[in-house]
Amino acid sequence: MSFFRRKKPVSNMAEGRVEGISKVTGSGKYAAEYKVDNVCYGVIVGSTIPAGEIEAYHLDDAKEVAGVLDIITHLNRPSIPAFENEESIKKSGFSLPVLHTDKVFFKGQPIALVIAETLEDATYAASLVTATYKQSSFNVDFDTTHPSIPLAGTGKERGTMDAWSNAAFVADAEYNIKHEVHNPMEMHATIATWVSKDKLKLWDKNQGVNNVQGTLSRLWKMPAANIEVISEFVGGGFGAGLLVWPHVLMTVMAAQQVKRPVKVVLTRPQMFTLVGYRPQAWQKVKIGADKDGNFLGILHQSKHSKSVYDNYREGITRISRMLYKIPNAKTEEATVSLNLSAPTWMRGPGDCSGAFGLECAIDELSYQLKKDPVQLRLQNLATEIDPDTQKPWSTNFLNECVEKGAANIEWAKYRKAQPASVKEGDWMIGYGMACGMWFAGRSKASAGIKMQKDGTISVETAMTDIGTGTGTGMQNIAHDNLGIPKNKIKVNLGNSNLPAAPSQGGSTGLSTMSGAVVAACNEFRKKIAELASVVDEAYKHVNPADIVFTKNGVALQTQGNRPVSYENIFAKNNLEIIDVQATSGPGEERQKYAFCSGAAHFVRVKVHAKTGKVKVDKIVSVVDAGYVVNDKAAANQISGAAVGGLGMALTEEQLVDHKLGCVVGNDLAGYHFPVNADAPIIDVSFIGKPDVNINPAGAKGLGEVGIIGMAPAVANAIYNATGKRLRNLPITPDKVLMA
């Protein structure tokens, strides 16, 4: 396999993403684009009711369509061993036993899969499949349901509520966020083929091939080594690719049924219901301060929607426990079960939603105190100790982010303390800011290095690159550690046959892989020293760190260089390839320190007095994420995340029909996310100080903090511009006018 396909070398190519040429020329293959011999096509049929039981299927008309091979339902599908009975289903860890139940939990739930020779035949036949149901009562109304759901404590309470009951200044308000959908450009797709009775191969759009491999191994009760999963290129994930969704299982079952490769590609409407979303949420934040602006206590409560068949928890209040020095803190949460499909992680899960309530409440408090929001945060940021664990932060330069961001947007010069005091014609001008924080995770991962006779190396791992620049980061790290020119370093990833690695998500990808690549580089140096010693005994007892890699071979920094060519190394050792692997992961440092990435976001908005239109005129984001391995890709990550934050703040809202029990506007015409015209050029900068404890590269994840805090920064700027405090997202023009 080859992650990067180039038919001809490109001369004088500007340095950029290692997969860039493959993507822009179309030679890079996404999941649905692989050509597999004898493939047929599957199309999912969804339920037409939101709750109940299937009494009968009506398939005769669909079966008469030319080219239809089979229609699988819960009555005639191959059995998934882990779904053999109710007890095993509960133990399987898979919340929806697709095609293994007659129960319907949400409208659009997969109830059948039509398999045909062509996509057109399968699509037409699927339109003819109907079912008779015994319908049950249903509920999809979060707003009227959540008040009756009791809250429960989450996390350890610090201090007491009584300790700050007489706080001089208190902000106390409720905040709401509507249901949002990931909507990556690439729809989810799977091609499955049973290579033999007990061997399976999949091309799948996902954020972690080993996770897919492990899940299918568990469900089918077959060795993971017998399952190969390929996900070389991913057209956006945002969290939707972190789970194995029902369509993957259906594709595998279909291939088993017809004994041929089967391809299933979700339609855009199905993307709204079958691969997760950010759940609708309610929050109540009460925060108190003394007359000098020192935070005394906080009560942060939240509720969010979930499916009746799933136990997803968002963790919305977590950010309030670690961002600021608050001696008294209490957090409570609850979930609200609805007849909707299951939500999942969406970029910055939990903390992104929680930051909206927290950072807006702090902004409200700043106006009560008549204190600059920048100074109020600087005064209260917990940059030395994690308040929740009491561990010292390994590094935390969020205060520097705030100071630099304020300077970059010229906050002191242009932001006015009095709301609604600056106008440009019909436009009201305002400035807002907010902070974001995300735990800096690191997992165990493996990487390999293979060298060819010409001195070219391939750095390999199973981890996918979901567009975050992981492949380029791996190349940069290998170059920094070995000195081999970048044009001699290739990258292979996104295949479960490569060295194992966790999923790409939660801003842990490069933090995890950097350690693995460094470990592989160290192992490679040892191997080269061993092999070179066959040619020249001077290498036998050399410190591997003293080896220098050149264009044609290796040399020593000591002992008079003593060059050895790659040609001699391969010939004397009778080798065709040099291959090493290494594994790296977190260690005792996790017991000693707390780890985080942080960001400060500043925005300037223009609000039209007559139409209520909000235009974000300027964005400044300053990020603390340790050492930045690739400046260009890192800035791209923050820019993309910031635009996602604009969507959360101003446009994104998945409506639900309470009477029919379904989502409304399940297409890109009805669901509005920001486009280029909605966003300014984003001023991104980094603190860039390495975290020497987190991994050998000193790099921390940064994808999540680009969105965490962006929505409240916009909302706070709107208040500064208009004097109207809007606490319900998205902030659409009608809400501005009616406030």
* Residues forming the active site: 704
- Give 455-511 as a DSSP string: S-EEEE-S----SS-HHHHHHHHHHHHH---GGGEEEE-SBTTSSP---S-TT-HHH
Q: Which two tokens stand for residue 638?
A: 């923050």
Which residues, at least 6 apart from 211, have a Cβ–Cβ distance to it below 8 Å? 242, 244, 502, 503
How many other CB atoms are there within 10 angstroms of residue 411's CB atom? 20
Residues 383 and 304: their CA atoms lie apart, in Å, by 30
Provide the 3-class DSSP secondary structure of residue 12.
Answer: coil
Phi, psi of 216 (to 5 degrees): -65, -35
Alpha helices by DSSP H, listed for 222-349, are: 246-258, 268-271
Residues 688 and 707: their CA atoms lie apart, in Å, by 19
Closest CA relative to residue 340, chosen from 304, 365, 394? 304
Please, what is the Cα angle at 647 between 644 and 651, to 5 degrees? 170
State how far the alpha carbon of 103 is from the alpha carbons of 93, 107, 110, 114, in Å. 18, 12, 11, 19
Q: Which two tokens stand for residue 592?
A: 């000693």
For helices 509-535 and 470-482, the axis angle rounded to 10 degrees is 40
Provide the 3-class DSSP secondary structure of residue 299.
Answer: strand
Half-sphere exposure of residue 470, counting CA atoms within 13 Å on the CB side? 37
Q: Is the distance from CB of 240 to CB of 150 less than 8 angstroms?
A: no
* Residue 244 burial class via C-beta count within 10 angstroms: exposed 0-12, middle 13-18, buried 19 and up: buried
Residues 712 and 436: their CA atoms lie apart, in Å, by 10
Specify the DSSP element, H or E, that contains 616.
strand 614-624
